[in-house]
Amino acid sequence: MTTESSSGTDGRGVQEPARPTVITVGVPYLALLWCALLACLIGFSFTGSTDLASNIWPMALWTVIWNTVLYRVWRGGPMAIRAVALLTTVIPGMTMVVVVAMAILTRNSLGGQLFDDMPTWWWLLLAAYAGAFVIGIGLRRADVREWSAALHPPRTRAEAALRRSGGLRIGPPSPTAPFTPASGTDDANDRAADEADGRPAAAHHADARTSVADSAGPPREASFSVDLGEKLRGQAKFRIGCFGVFIAFFGIIAVVIGVETLRGDEDWVPAASFAALVLLLVAALVISVRRFGGRLGARSTLTIDRTGVTWQGGQDLASFSWNGLAGVGISYYMATTKNGKKMHMPQLDIYEQVSSPAGRWPELDRRRRQERPPEPQLPGELYRLMLPVDDQIHRMIEETVCAHRPALWLGWYERPRSDTPWFLR
């Protein structure tokens, strides 16, 4: 449900979508609820229940933070909306559950008079929390997500793919993240029209790539080369370093407990338990790093130019001519977590028209996969190269492929498995 009165234009003259009713009503309501809670605290200070002098600065700080977050919700900030939706469902929900549980558990000892003895301000607080709970549920609605997505264009190709996988319109392209027509437009309506005409989905994708090819004109002298291994190692070092600090923290605890045990002749079980945990974490880290290094190899250099796609890794120099390729695209995996959907590492998929025999490129064979292709005309065998989480590299791959053979560009699509090291997810 939306309200038409709040729509308008932004600074660029673009028509803004109508603000949902839950935003129009909910943001002022939550601001007033916060003011009411502050008024209660100030009122308690006059009765001696609380010390206003010691709470004035925390109250001022959290007031600024809360109103800043509410302003971001009013402006459609996706992170602010998720945070407020979580807070307004968890805190009021737990409060109401606790009150009801107390009433049930103590009804016999109080003669069933618990609710009768509750002061009026308790009832007002519960009613206010119930309203906040309803607003929190409303902030999780699909129309709120669509409104937020329309106001904030995706900054990266990965973010655009993530929004499309959730069925959201991605809005106009951001000036800092240009998109080709194949990957940057919302084509849900076109697909629906094709299905209504009896055309298969593959025909829609073929038409989209053909339109890109027609608009691109003759191939430009574009080329792109990047050492994927260096980029990936740089990102992995940061993640592994953070995990190493985590292990060191538990190691210090184990040492402290061990020293105290030696000095006081205490039980060795806590120290031994922490030591075993540290050894287990170290073993998991070492095994994961060795597997990652083996999969990445000594080097992983990707080159895309007018001749085709070339990958060099160790002793292998794999060259794929444009005429021998069936498609090139970037795949990703959508993992379901307690905080919603999360995208695992985007990776480059290379489809050949005729698969190369096994053993031709031994190191590249470790990157060979067998899985269902994104389009029915593609083979089920492909080569998958790990890509760093870097939108600049994603953009250059897309632009260079489209500059030479736009009909081969498959865009972004979801793959059936993660195929990503745990410390890079």
Question: What is the domain partition of the chain in residue ranges?
Answer: 4-144, 227-296, 298-424
The torsion defined by the Cα of 37, 42, 48 and 52, in degrees rounded to 10, comes to 110
In sequence order, the 6+-apart residues with CB closer than 8 A to the CB of 315 are 362, 363
> For residue 393, what pLDDT is reported?
92
| Cα 203 to Cα 199: distance, rounded to the nearest angstrom | 7
| Contact (CB, 8 A) for 170 and 189 | no
In sequence order, the 6+-apart residues with CB closer than 8 A to the CB of 74 are 23, 27
Q: Express the helix, strand and coil content of the chain in percent, nearest 5 each.
A: 55, 15, 25
Radius of gyration of the chain (CA): 29
Q: Which helix (H) or strand (E) holds 252?
A: helix 228-264
**By CB neighbour count within 10 A (0-12 exposed, 13-18 middle, 19+ buried), where does 330 fall?**
buried
Q: Which two tokens stand for residue 71?
A: 């302003």
In sequence order, the 6+-apart residues with CB closer than 8 A to the CB of 423 are 236, 239, 240, 243, 288, 292
pTM above 0.75, yes or no: no
> For residue 217, what pLDDT is reported?
43
> For residue 173, what pLDDT is reported?
37
DSSP per-residue letters across 358-408: TTSSHHHHTTEEE---SSTTS-SEEEEEE--S-HHHHHHHHHHHHHH-GGG
| Cα 277 to Cα 275: distance, rounded to the nearest angstrom | 5
Decide: helix, strand or coil at residue 140.
Answer: coil
**Whole-number Cα distances in Å, 379 to 17, 75, 168, 243, 410:** 42, 46, 30, 39, 13
Region 298-424: CATH code: 2.30.29
Alpha helical stretches, state H, 265-390: 269-296, 362-365
Backbone phi and psi for residue 70, each to the nearest 5 degrees, phi listed first: -65, -35
> For residue 303, what pLDDT is reported?
95
| Cα 331 to Cα 194: distance, rounded to the nearest angstrom | 24
Residues forming a β-bridge with 330: 348, 412
**Could you tell me the mean pLDDT of each successive run of 10 residues in the chain, 425 residues long?**
48 70 94 88 69 76 93 91 91 81 64 60 80 92 87 79 60 39 40 44 47 44 85 83 84 80 72 82 83 74 94 89 95 78 86 91 90 92 91 92 94 88 72
Q: Which two tokens stand for residue 245?
A: 């600090």
Sheet holding 224-227, edge to edge: 224-227, 301-305, 308-313, 316-321
Decide: helix, strand or coil at residue 54.
Answer: helix
